[in-house]
Chains A and B, each alone.
Chain A
Amino acid sequence: MASGVSDRTVIAGIGQTEFSKNSGRSELQLAAEASLAALDDAGLTAADIDGMVTYTLDSTGEFELVRNLGIKDLRYYSRAPYGGAATCAVVLHAAAAVAAGAANVVLIYRAFNERSGRRFGLPQAPGQVSSSGSLWWRWYMPFGLDTPAKWAALHFQRYMHVYGVTNEDFGRYSVVCRKHAANNPGAYFYQRPITLEDHQNSRWIVEPVLRLLDCCQESDGGVALLITSRERARDLRRPPARIVAAAQSALLGGDIVSDYYHEDIAGMAEIGDIGAQLWSQSGLRPRDIQAAMLYDHFSPIIFMHLEEFGFCGRGEARDFIKQGNIELGGSVPVNTHGGLLGEAYIHGVNHINEAVRQLRGVAINQVADVQHVLVSAGMSGIILGSS
């Protein structure tokens, strides 16, 4: 069953700033710079933009970006909720708007000073808790469960228990993504690979699940994408990346950055649902995917992605990774830019830029003959195809 979005829309341009620990400029400026880079990449101008989508968590208001980019006539703007869950949701929203005729060229932006400004890794003061999150956070905060690492780890420990997976197993993902990042001049951890021993010697953040080297970075930076129709993209500067499928998921029993209430939490039902939607929309299967960019806020979620999408069976991700399947030259190279652990934490949107580079054949760690790339953030996902 194809959705209305499937194959009618494309990513025509990608842009990004440098990724750092201290950008030295405003989040608005990062958003404007990344947007301009995406326009230049696509060969479009600010006057072409008539739609805009970002995360509800982004601090840059639409009017601010309109004023700075000199956008003349914005006709569609919307936001996708809940942190990393928005990663591919912004593409779905933008593509749906284009497919429905509500906009012709939609700018997606996500920019923040997440290391030098408000850090996600530290417990937030009560006043900082957003209204969308507070209703569930208050059931966890008084017990000392007050950061994404802690929320997520309580879910992942069940997975470790059910399948006998250890923290050392998780470390094998960290080693792979740091190896990929080591080749990527744009990665914060460029030329800084790690060994499994380094991983096992890093300090506990949440025992017995997450060590420091299981956790994504906190980063400053901005990323932008331009979504338009296949027809509009025909005479643009770059070969467009086709949006082959796009999906969001929120299931009864689900939750944000945690998963405590589904009957089975030794997996993640929403990822399974995203997989079912994407395979159904596209008619593709795991064997048709040449590279996957998977949201890696913490290393264990990679295991759930690989299993829920069917790249391997339940409980088999440990051996699948150990056998080299997610490395360059493996059956499905994962996070070839270094991921959120190795490149930077730009809330997942930097994964989409890497997917587009793989499809264009210009990635630093280029995979051979890339036809389809999966990008997943757990509660949203897309499959992109070469043009």
Chain B
Amino acid sequence: MKRRAPFATHDDQFFWDGVAAGELRLQRCAKCLKLRHPPGPMCPHCHSLEWRIERASGRGSVYSYVIPRHTAIDSGGDPVIVALIELEEGARLVSNLCEVAPDAVRNGMAVEVFFTEFEDGVRLHQFRPAGR
């Protein structure tokens, strides 16, 4: 399978603008200061429509992971690892885990963000073991 391009909506254009700029951006409620991901227009805690963008540190850990074997993305090399990353800010997001052998992946391993350009101009945030 070929990797698919992401698409933005009005509510999360800031996130993909961040990816284009090489920044992992998170949304925080401007009123009650709670973080939320995936992004949305209204704070579920205080109903504020005001929010601000902050740059995540890019550091986190592997919360869970899988290696799709059927209808997987054709990487041309090692199989693509999909991981649920828990950022140190607290938000969780789905991404790929790179630069590590599938049998060396562990829940809880420390990872850091980086950005990769795939074919057709698809640009995505990816993660790799921290401190390499």
Contact = CB atoms under 8 A, between A and B. Distances in A.
B21 interface: no
Interface stretch (B1-9, B22-30, B46-54): B1-9
A163 interface: no
B72 interface: yes
Contact of B71 (A147, A204, A261): A147
Contacts of B122: 142
A142 B69 contact: no
Contact of B38 (A122, A139, A204): A139
Interface in A142-170: 142-147, 149-150, 153-155, 157-158, 161
A86 to B, nearest CB: 23
B93 A139 contact: yes
A208 B70 contact: no
B92 A146 contact: no
Given A144-B73, A150-B66, A150-B68, A252 B4 contact: no
B94 A157 contact: no
A154 B96 contact: no
Contacts of A149: 70
A158 B93 contact: no
B94 A260 contact: yes
A138 interface: yes
Contacts of A120: none
Given A139-B93, A154-B84, A161-B107, A144 B69 contact: no
A207 B67 contact: yes
B5 A136 contact: no
Interface string B88-121: 0000111110000010000100000000000000
B4 A142 contact: yes
Interface string A204-229: 11111100000000000000000000
B56 interface: no
A143 B84 contact: no
Contacts of B73: 144
Contact of A158 (B64, B72, B102): B64
B124 interface: yes
B94 A207 contact: no
Nearest to A262: B92
Contacts of A136: 38
A141 interface: yes
A144 B80 contact: yes
Interface residues of A, number: 34
Contact of A204 (B5, B69, B93): B69
A1 interface: no
B84 A144 contact: no
A330 interface: no
A157 B3 contact: no
A203 B5 CA distance: 29
A123 B3 contact: no
Contact of B82 (A138, A150, A161, A203): A150
Contact of B84 (A123, A142, A158, A252): A158
A141 B38 CA distance: 14
Contacts of A252: 44
Interface string B25-42: 000000000000010000
Nearest to A253: B44
A161 B64 contact: yes
Contacts of A207: 66-69, 102
Given A154-B84, A158-B84, A143 B124 contact: yes
A157 B65 contact: yes
B63 interface: yes
A143 B82 contact: yes
Contacts of A206: 66-70
Contacts of B66: 150, 153-154, 157, 206-209
Given A136-B38, A142-B5, A157 B64 contact: yes
A158 B6 contact: no
Interface in A121-138: 122-123, 126, 135-136, 138
Nearest to A159: B64
A141 B92 CA distance: 16
9 contacts: A123-B71, A142-B3, A144-B1, A144-B3, A144-B96, A158-B63, A208-B66, A208-B67, A209-B66
Given A143-B124, A154-B65, A204-B70, 11 more contacts: A123-B1, A139-B93, A144-B3, A154-B64, A155-B64, A158-B84, A161-B107, A203-B70, A205-B70, A206-B67, A209-B66
Interface of A: 122-123, 126, 135-136, 138-147, 149-150, 153-155, 157-158, 161, 203-209, 252, 260-261, 265
Interface of B: 1, 3-7, 9, 38, 44, 63-73, 80, 82-84, 92-96, 102, 107, 122, 124
